[in-house]
Amino acid sequence: MRVVTVSREYGSGGGEVAARLARRLSWQLVDHEVVVRIARELDCSEEEAEARDERSEGLVGQILSVMPLVEPAGFVESLGIPGSAAHDYQEAVRHVVEAAAATGRVVIVGRGAQFLLADRRDALHVRVVAPVDLRIAYVAHREALDVLAARRRIEQKDRDRMRYTQSVHHHHPSEAHLYDLTINTGILDLDAAVDLACLALQRKGERLGLPAAELGPAAGLARYPAMPGDFTAMR
């Protein structure tokens, strides 16, 4: 196994899970490092790349919520950001994520890595979620916000991420089949989430060499001794 991608609901503790997982594995955490590498690819300052990284989700959100029938490139230009710059940014993200995966031993947080690396069998894709009331409590505590401000921040982040992934990758980030493992931190603590990710990484790695015919939920199972009753009733 060469890479773990971590997608997370804002306020679920997913970023902290990714950081702890990287430390546990002694792997490289690719989070802000993405921004640094993108700055090099685009030949711009780290601050400029950071601004693009922070604005990209919100920008797509504006495109879809304000002018849903307009071509995105045209609306980007109307906001004063050339469509080519947005394209260049996405291409740089793709190059950096794929290069990190090729290097191996990396934990990549966000950046659509679960989509960009979906075809890699040597990648483990993890999603971290939590009930919204606990996410509000997490954000309020970590960011020193009141409850109302924390709720608004979560709602905005959720909208931006959903619109961004639907526009750029044509998927909703919560689609279950995108992930090998989804962890709810509503009761499980963050170290337990890391434990589960490590176990899944080990078990998936053990099955990498198997042919496709030996994978899937039917692997190793015998046929039912008789036709299921509900199927018989439907005939």
pLDDT in tens, 45-75: 555 555 555 444 333 333 333 333 333 333 3
Q: Is 6 helix (H, G, I), strand (E, B) or coil?
A: strand
Answer yes or no: is pLDDT of 217 > 60: yes
- Is the CA virtual torsion 215, 128, 201, 195 positive or negative? negative
Query: What residues have CB less than 8 Å from 72, skipping those under 6 apart?
Result: 60, 63, 83, 86, 167
Q: How many CA atoms lie within 13 A of 205 on its CB side?
A: 11
- What tokens appear for 66 in the block? 């304000």
Please answer whether residues 129 and 196 qualify as being in contact, where contact means their C-beta atoms are separated by less than 8 angstroms.
no
CATH topology for 3-205 is Rossmann fold (3.40.50)
- Helix or strand or coil: residue 204? helix
Question: Which of 41-50, 80-89, 196-205 is predicted with the least confidence, judged by mean pLDDT?
Answer: 80-89
Is 199's pLDDT higher than 50? yes
How is the chain split into domains, by residue range?
3-205
Percent of the chain beyond pLDDT 90? 40
Q: d(Cα 191, Cα 202) in Å, to the nearest integer?
A: 17
Q: Quick one: which of 36, 66, 71 has its CA closest to 53?
A: 36
- Nearest Cα neighbor of 105 from 227, 222, 3 is 3
Residue with tokens 């890479």: 3
